[in-house]
Structure formats: structure tokens, C-alpha cells
């Protein structure tokens, strides 16, 4: 009975160590560098291993097939992290009158949250990864989790 209890405790502790966040990963394909691509996936942060792993899903939330991507960034490879928030007027909702639409467009804001991680490959080549978070709540928690897991600011 005791080994089972220890196994449950250890698995619960391991679950607490890894955090996941849904993001869009923005990248440029080598064959079309002028056309940025967006891939939906999950960031997994493991503070025990001091690493960040991005894994794309087979399909995007919109039902489209997308390329499978997976990469890791370790604390030793990570060099810098930058957070950026962009605000833009949000479109009108239920098609009210012209005046209502204009007022909503002037007052409502749609925020976009981006986190850029700079890192070096094993050969020393500098790389970057740009992640787009949908919600401000997720990005605040993710920034703290990335700082804690990778030890960068």
C-alpha cells in the first residue's frame, strides 16, 4: 500500500511542476520568408528540468490541418525574453447603428499579447520564438512561469 501512496504523491508533485499554456507560435518558413505563419499549440513549462517545450496540435481550433512542430528551449540556451502588448480598436458586435458602431470602435480595445524568447542552439546560432497569447490572464501567469522555469527576465 505504501509504494502506491508514494507513487501518487510523486505523480501529483510532477504535475505541479509542469504548467501548460495554449498559444499561437509565429514563424517564417524557409521557403517563404516574407509570409509569416501561425501554428496553434501548447507550451509546457517544466521547472524541474528548467525547460520550455512547444508542441503544435494536429488541427487548429478552426479545424484546419497544420504542420506538426515541436521544439525545446532550456534555461542554459535561453538568453532574453520580451513581452509586448498591442491594442487596436475592436469591431462592432451585433450590427447596431452607425453611431453605435463608431462609438464602440473608439472605446473598445482588442489586446494582443506577444512573448518573444531569444535563445541559442547547441551550435551557438541565435534563434527566437514568438508566442501569441489570447488572454491577458494567461500571459501574466505565463510570464511568471517562464521567468521561474528558465530563470530569465
What does the pLDDT look like over 41-69, one tens digit per residue? 899 999 889 999 999 887 766 677 777 88
For 118, list phi and psi in degrees, rounded to 5: -105, 140
pLDDT score, position 19: 86
For residue 13, pLDDT over 50 is answered with no
Per-residue pLDDT band for 17 (boundaries 50, 70, 90) equals: low
**Which is higher by pLDDT, 77 or 33?**
77
Phi, psi (deg, nearest 5) at residue 66:
-140, 160
Which residues are CB-neighbours of 153 under 8 A, at least 6 positions away?
81, 147
Nearest to 101 by CA among 113, 93, 110, 109: 93
Please, what is the average pLDDT of the chain?
76
Q: Which pTM was predicted?
A: 0.70
pLDDT, average across residues 69-97: 77
Our CA dihedral for 86, 87, 88, 91, rounded to 10 degrees, sits at 120
Amino acid at each position: 500500500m505504501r509504494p502506491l501512496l508514494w507513487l501518487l504523491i510523486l505523480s501529483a508533485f510532477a504535475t505541479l511542476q509542469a504548467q501548460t499554456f495554449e498559444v499561437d507560435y509565429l514563424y517564417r518558413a524557409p521557403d517563404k520568408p516574407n509570409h509569416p505563419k501561425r501554428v496553434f499549440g501548447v507550451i509546457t513549462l517544466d521547472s524541474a528540468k528548467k525547460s520550455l517545450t512547444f508542441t503544435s496540435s494536429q488541427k487548429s481550433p478552426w479545424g484546419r490541418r497544420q504542420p506538426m512542430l515541436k521544439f525545446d528551449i532550456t534555461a542554459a540556451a535561453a538568453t532574453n525574453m520580451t513581452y509586448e502588448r498591442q491594442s487596436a480598436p475592436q469591431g462592432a458586435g451585433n450590427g447596431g447603428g452607425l453611431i453605435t458602431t463608431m462609438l464602440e470602435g473608439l472605446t473598445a480595445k482588442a489586446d494582443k499579447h506577444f512573448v518573444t524568447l531569444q535563445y541559442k542552439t547547441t551550435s551557438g546560432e541565435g534563434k527566437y520564438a514568438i508566442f501569441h497569447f489570447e488572454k491577458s490572464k494567461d500571459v501574466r501567469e505565463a510570464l511568471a512561469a517562464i521567468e521561474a522555469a528558465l530563470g530569465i527576465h
